[in-house]
Amino acid sequence: MLTDHHQLERREAILRILRGGLVRRQQDLVRLLRKEGHEVTQSSVSRDLRELGVLKAAGGYVPPPDEIARSSGDFSIIARFVREIRPAGPSLTVIRTSVGAAQSVAVAVDRARWPEVVGTISGDDTIFIATEGTREQARLVGRLHELFRV
């Protein structure tokens, strides 16, 4: 059985790998971890992902929302999951994401504390962002397009 120290190192490696690029399957993650010298099995990686709060989105695995929040505005971790950004009326903006990724993207937007954002609501693949009005919405949409390149 692995010691807590090994488990901690392995979990840190998992988060680092997920931050660094797209991992579509657990098998890929197991292979990358073994390549780094970690002794892992499919079941230990599955347990680690579950306990870390890693989300499975349509495009692959997403770091947990608290990990994204700690990334201090580094939106590159989640940019690959954003599919569409569009205004809906004068003060509502809708972001469409891969299935399962909306919560992580919404947490990143909330943590950014942009002055034009009044609040967010997220579902599984959709985020609603409220702004005070049209001017603030235009500023937000411009910022989102620049960050997410969609």
pLDDT of residue 1: 47
Task: Please check the confidence at residue 150 and state whether its pLDDT lies above 80.
Answer: yes
Task: To the nearest 10°, report the CA torsion of 96, 97, 98, 102.
Answer: -120
- Report the pLDDT averaged over residues 43-52: 90
Model pLDDT for residues 85-109, shown as the tens digit of each residue: 999 999 999 999 988 889 888 988 9
pLDDT of residue 70: 65
Beta strands in the chain (DSSP E): 55-57, 60-62, 82-87, 92-97, 117-122, 126-131
Task: Please check the confidence at residue 51 and state whether its pLDDT lies above 80.
Answer: yes
pTM: predicted TM-score of the whole model, two decimal places: 0.70
Of residues 87 and 77, which shows the higher confidence score? Answer: 87
pLDDT of residue 91: 96
Instruction: Find the range with the poorest average confidence among 16-30, 31-45, 106-120.
Output: 16-30
pLDDT cut 90: percent of the chain above it: 51
pLDDT of residue 68: 66
DSSP single-letter state for residue 25: S
How far apart are alpha carbons 44 and 63 in whole angstroms? 17
Which class does domain 76-148 fall in? alpha beta
